[in-house]
Amino acid sequence: MVLDSIVSSPMRRSQSLRKQRDELGSWSALAQRHRFLLTALVLLAFLCTIYLYFAITLGAAGSCSRLTGTQRAVCQLERAKASVSEGKLKFA
């Protein structure tokens, strides 16, 4: 009797572990449970990509871009001083 319980015990443990793994589910079950969160994450990533594209594209075309030489340097210096005084940090 004791010998039977020792022999069958590891089998029961492996079955219970397998059952727990099945209850947790596969990747498809996990995706179905969290479909709303995954959709929101994809939408957020898409919107952030669009925002960054326009921020970089439109931010690069400043008022100093058409100037050349000394005028451009003076313009950029004035813009840097204005942004520091306003508390903004600019990388241009």
State residue 51's pLDDT score: 94
8 in Cβ contact with 1 (< 8 Å): no
How many residues make up the chain in this entry?
92
80 half-sphere exposure, CB direction, 13 A CA radius: 8
Return per-residue pLDDT of the chain as tens, 92 residues.
555 555 555 556 666 666 666 666 788 888 889 999 999 999 999 999 999 998 877 776 567 777 788 888 888 788 777 766 666 555 55
State residue 19's pLDDT score: 62
Contacts of 25 (CB under 8 A, 6+ apart): 33
Q: Which helix (H) or strand (E) holds 79?
A: helix 69-86
